[in-house]
Amino acid sequence: MKFKLIKSLDVAGLSVFEPVVRLLWGEEPKVQIKKIGLYIVIPLLVFISFLLVWDFMGPRHKTKSGEVPTPKVVLDAYKKIVLFHDQEYAKLDDYNREGEDRVAHLTEVESRLRIVRDVLGQIRIALEDAENQFQEKLAKYLKPYQQVVAEKQKDYQARKAEVEGKLITWGKQLDVNDKEGKKDYIKAVALAKREFEKNEKHLKVLRTELADKKINESPELVTLRLQQTKLEQEEQFLVKRISYLSRANRSLKIEAAETILGDQLANLSNAYGDEGVYGLTLNILNSQERIEKIKKSSYAKPPTFFDQIWTSIKCVFTGFLIATFIAIPLGILCGLSSVFMASMMPLISLFKPVSPIVWLPIVFIIVGGFITNPEEAFISPAFLSTAITVALCSLWPTLVNTALGVASVENDHLNVARMLRLNLWDRLTKIIIPSSLPLIFAGLRISLGVGWMVLIAGELLSSSPGLGKFVWDMFNNGSSETFAQMFVVVFFVGIIGFLLDRLMVIMQKLVSFDEAVSTL
Amino acid sequence: MILMAYLELSSVNFGYGPSANRYEVLQDVNIEVNENEFVAILGFSGTGKSTLISLLGGLNLPDSGQVLYKGQPVVGPSPDRGILFQNYSLLPWLTVYGNINLAVKQVFPEFSNEEKKTYIQKYIDMVSLSGSEKKRPAELSGGMRQRLSLARTLAMQPKVLLLDEPLSALDALTRSVLQKEIINIWESDKRTIVMITNDLDEAILMADKIFLLSPGPKASLYKEFNVNIERPRDMDSLNLNEDFNSLRNQITACMVEFFQSEDNDSVEIELPDYQPAVFT
């Protein structure tokens, strides 16, 4: 058991956790604890310090989408994403519910809504109180500052009136030809004007200072506000659910349409002569069509984050499979024939460095030429062109590695094939391919990694409803909340990429024959 | 009636590399092997022994001269002439069973699944690898690998068995066990065997005839010895056998000759003519 676990960890490339397993079986505890300290605890500490640095640095940079979110904000954003996902699926289920199930859910939701509204009412009252208290407190706090400003303003106004009055009187006394006197007068007025302006400026400064003066809202007020928003959102959600469980429910819609149809049928059976048998029949047919349509309809659920992840994974594997089906046969041919290799080389060298950002628009247009009606196509052109772009960018490592693997099959193994007079097919399937499998899988591993990276960029451009589109939508939304949700994507892309890589490592280890994996 | 050789090399030349920088390995080699004969080819390392085996096996074709099998020129490899490769050449991704199965499926495609299973098992048992059927070569010891390689070659039921230093990589104990095993197989199921070796005792112990190659490059057949010692031979008693000792001395003498002739070719270094000082 212990060795099986250790072996599995090794195959999965997680041998860091080997000491934990050994410790659990009580093997040399001191050595294991030291290893755990060195290879698990220290990396963990580094990760934590990364989070701390992030937490410290984030709020210090202001953007038009708010501050750079801290880890806590990102976690909250993730919770929001999950909530949205759960709610949308609840609505989807509600739309499809019928019979007793529907009624049961309806009563449940309605009772919940009542509770929510009750609590919400209480919170609103409490919030009003708290708000009033806060305003009072704020007013009290601001009062001295306001007084200072008011006094200053009064002072300055009095001073201004006084100076202006003096100047006006002086002006009246000036003689027509008193040039010197007028000169002095100009100087005096200029001086006064400057003083007024200075005072104005000072007042302005005082006013802005006053505006910046505030006291923190009490924590109760903040929590009350948060609770209120949360409950209001839940209320909205519950109201929506009730509508999908009642008016907008599919089974009810069908029922209603069927009642109409029944009436129409009754009308038709009684109709004759001038009563428009033709029109009644048409109505019946239309009703029937409508019922069929409703039966097929489903709740128009927007893709949630997890739906988008799933789309992305499907997309990357579609592209990866396309790449594999192109790269492995081509690679085998390259490895078998140096002439073929030489003739492929210009193409490989030319296309290998091309960026996905260039491929995507080209592929998009070409695919668009094949799929003229995207609404009815069995595969969305955006999805397909992203997958093809992934394939175009990720097939090279597999191609090159396969060619290398096939070209470097050991001569001894080929001699065995020659001695046995294996035909070309047997030589390929029994000697050459098995022997190059480890290298092929090494290539596939790199390809999948490249594909995953290309995918996000591709989806961002093509609007295929995956993670890339999610990022793009969040970017265009531009609120501080969506800013934080983009950080969530970073972690998901990283974790999924890591898991995909592990998957390939495991497969690579399983096909590599040098290590005795068969004992697993 | 002229007895035609079963397997024959007639004035064979073989070399590697472009004509400008050619490395001649074998020059004018003539060897004849009769049917059901056990022949050992003895030579120093680097005398082109392995090249000789691949020529006999048909993996390489001679530059000039001919390799004849039953009077017909050899144009390529064939399961008829099974080669036991020096480095086992086992397929590491196949199990013990799978490695033998690959050969059996190719040589006896007419076998039913049941027949094939018992047939393969017979050869696994023969080289005493029973119980390791599901192991891969990487999990086997060197001796086990060589035995597996032997089983694979034998399972092809070749008319001629070409053994390329089959025992040189093994420890002395495993080696003597396998020597006995090969001789047993040969005695119970007569066939032609050409074995390459660099061990004189082994050659005398096992073979009917020994070909001694001159050292390379441009190696060639130097001398041919018949071993007329009664079978079964046993290493312990052989040491006391006069025929054995005389044959051994003869061959050793020949081999020493090579070294001396090489010495003759080497440039003689003039030694300074110093005389010890005499103090009286």
pLDDT single digits (tens) A256-292: 999 999 988 888 888 777 767 888 888 889 999 999 9
Does residue A421 belong to the interface with chain B, where contact is any CB pair within 8 Å?
Answer: yes
Please give the average per-residue pLDDT across B128-135, as a whole number: 88
Residues of A in contact with B92 (CB under 8 A): 513-514
Does residue A416 belong to the interface with chain B, where contact is any CB pair within 8 Å?
Answer: yes
**Under CATH, which number does the domain B1-80+158-280 receive?**
3.40.50.300
Residue among B85, B103, B139 whose CB faces A412 most closely: B85
Residues of A in contact with B83 (CB under 8 A): 415, 419
pLDDT tens per residue across span B72-109: 888 888 888 889 888 888 998 899 999 999 999 999 99
Q: Residue A418 and residue B102: Cβ atoms within 8 Å?
A: no
> In chain B, whose CA is at the least distance from the CA of A512?
B93
Does residue A413 belong to the interface with chain B, where contact is any CB pair within 8 Å?
Answer: yes
CA distance A368 to A388: 13
Is A515's pLDDT higher than 70?
Answer: no
CA distance B195 to B217: 21
Q: How many residues does chain A have?
A: 520
pLDDT tens per residue across span A2-21: 888 888 888 877 888 888 88
**DSSP 8-state code for residue A216:** P
Does residue B102 belong to the interface with chain A, where contact is any CB pair within 8 Å?
Answer: yes
Which two tokens mark B43? 């030579």
Which spans in A37-98 are helix H?
42-57, 71-96
Cis peptide before B232 (omega within 30 of 0): yes
Q: Residue A431 and residue B103: Cβ atoms within 8 Å?
A: no
Cis peptide before B18 (omega within 30 of 0): no
The alpha-carbon gap from B188 to the nearest alpha carbon of chain A, in Å, equals 25
Is A508's pLDDT higher than 70?
Answer: yes
pLDDT of residue A520: 36
Residues of A in contact with B138 (CB under 8 A): 513-516
Is B269's pLDDT higher than 70?
Answer: no
Q: Residue B136 and residue A516: Cβ atoms within 8 Å?
A: yes
Which residue, A468, A404, A485, A469, is CA-closest to A441? A404
- Give domain limits for chain A: 2-60, 99-222, 305-519
Residue among A416, A515, A516 whose CB faces B89 most closely: A416
Instruction: Provide CB contacts within 8 A for A300, sequence distance 6+.
Output: none
Does residue B139 belong to the interface with chain A, where contact is any CB pair within 8 Å?
Answer: yes
- Its ipTM equals 0.82
Which residue, A468, A475, A486, is CA-closest to A69? A486
Interface test with chain A among B86, B91, B101, B141, by most A beta carbons within 10 Å:
B91
Residue among A422, A513, A518 whose CB faces B106 most closely: A422
CA distance B99 to B89: 10
Instruction: Provide CB contacts within 8 A for A329, sequence distance 6+.
Output: none
pLDDT band at A23 (very low <50, low <70, confident <90, very high): confident
pLDDT of residue B267: 54
CA distance B38 to B195: 8
pLDDT band at B216 (very low <50, low <70, confident <90, very high): low
Does residue A419 belong to the interface with chain B, where contact is any CB pair within 8 Å?
Answer: yes
DSSP chain B: -----SEEEEEEEEEES-GGG-EEEEEEEEEEE-TT-EEEEE--TTSSHHHHHHHHHTSS--SEEEEEETTEEP-S--TTEEEE-TT----TTS-HHHHHHHHHHHH-TT--HHHHHHHHHHHHHHTT-TT-TT--GGGS-HHHHHHHHHHHHHHT--SEEEEESTTTTS-HHHHHHHHHHHHHHHHHS--EEEEEES-HHHHHHH-SEEEEEPPSSSB-EEEEEE--PPSSP-HHHHTT-HHHHHHHHHHHHHHHHHHHHHHHHSPPPPPP--------
pLDDT tens per residue across span A321-357: 999 999 999 999 999 999 999 999 999 999 999 999 9
pLDDT tens per residue across span A119-168: 999 999 999 998 898 888 888 888 888 898 899 899 999 999 999 898 88
pLDDT tens per residue across span B15-70: 887 777 778 888 888 888 888 889 999 887 777 888 888 888 888 888 888 888 88
Strand, helix or coil for residue A27: coil
Q: Residue B85 and residue A420: Cβ atoms within 8 Å?
A: no
Strand, helix or coil for residue A514: coil
Q: Residue A416 and residue B85: Cβ atoms within 8 Å?
A: yes
Which two tokens mark A443? 């290539």
The alpha-carbon gap from A439 to the nearest alpha carbon of chain B, in Å, equals 14
Beta bridge partners of B223: B212
> In chain B, whose CA is at the least distance from the CA of A429?
B102
Residues of B in contact with A411 (CB under 8 A): none
**Burial class of residue A248 (count of CB atoms within 10 Å of its CB; 0-12, 13-18, 19+):** middle
CA distance A224 to A122: 10
Is B187's pLDDT higher than 90?
Answer: no
pLDDT band at B264 (very low <50, low <70, confident <90, very high): low
Residue among B78, B85, B102 whose CB faces A415 most closely: B85
Residues of A in contact with B156 (CB under 8 A): 420
Could you tell me if B64 and B13 are in contact, meaning their C-beta atoms sit under 8 angstroms apart? yes
* Cα atoms found within 13 Å of the Cα of residue B277, Cβ hemisphere only: 2
Q: Residue A419 and residue B79: Cβ atoms within 8 Å?
A: yes
Which two tokens mark A174? 């000036």
Element (H, E) at A66: strand A66-67
pLDDT of residue A116: 93
Beta bridge partners of B114: none
CA distance A11 to A502: 9
Q: Which CATH class is domain A305-519?
A: mainly alpha
Number of CB pairs, chain A paired with chain B, less than 8 A apart: 62
Residue among A419, A435, A511 whose CB faces B77 most closely: A419
pLDDT tens per residue across span A219-233: 888 888 889 999 999
Residues of chain B with CATH 3.40.50.300: 1-80+158-280
CA distance A370 to A462: 16
> In chain B, whose CA is at the least distance from the CA of A513?
B93
Residue among A415, A426, A514 whose CB faces B92 most closely: A514
Q: Residue B78 and residue A419: Cβ atoms within 8 Å?
A: yes
Residues of A in contact with B93 (CB under 8 A): 434-435, 437, 511, 513
Between helix B113-126 and helix B96-107 the angle, nearest 10°, is 120
CA distance B168 to B146: 10
The alpha-carbon gap from B78 to the nearest alpha carbon of chain A, in Å, equals 5
